Amino acid sequence: MLFLAGAAVSSVQNLTLAVAPEFYTISIRGTAVVWGLAISRLGSATASIIICVLIQANFSMTTVFEPFIVPAIIGCISILLTKKESNMSNIAKESQQQA
């Protein structure tokens, strides 16, 4: 079960990086994606430390993973509420303005 959870988290991080650029204008796209990547890596590192501390404190595996339910639910809800619009016309206009 832990293997599947780890694989799912890695997959979601990779898919998020593939989709994220569509939500930003060309001028800030690279910065936005890198910030997203940095925050996700920080979360992964922090989660690893928290898991180790909870396991050393002799908590059950269920109790160890319960704190991560709330951020996962918040992430799912925010993804579902994100409105996807086509940026092609905006990208074309922005490219013409920069040229």
pLDDT digits (tens, 9 = 90+) for 17-29: 777 777 778 888 8
**Domain span at residue 76?**
12-83
Question: What's the whole-number average pLDDT of the chain?
Answer: 79
Residue 89 forms part of a structural domain: no
If you write DSSP's letter for every residue of 13-50 in order, what string do you get?
A: HHHHHHHGGGGS-TTTHHHHHHHHHHHHHHHHHHHHHH
CA distances from 93 to 21, 26, 30, 86, 88 (A): 17, 11, 19, 13, 9
Q: Contact at 8 Å (CB) between 21 and 29?
A: yes
pLDDT in tens, 40-71: 889 888 988 988 998 999 999 888 888 888 88
pTM beyond 0.75:
no
- Lookup: tokens for 52: 């180790």
Q: How many domains does the chain have?
A: 1
Residue 95 forms part of a structural domain: no
Q: Which residue has the higher pLDDT, 57 or 8?
A: 57
Residue 39 forms part of a structural domain: yes
Q: Contact at 8 Å (CB) between 17 and 37?
A: yes
Residue 26 forms part of a structural domain: yes
pLDDT at 58: 93
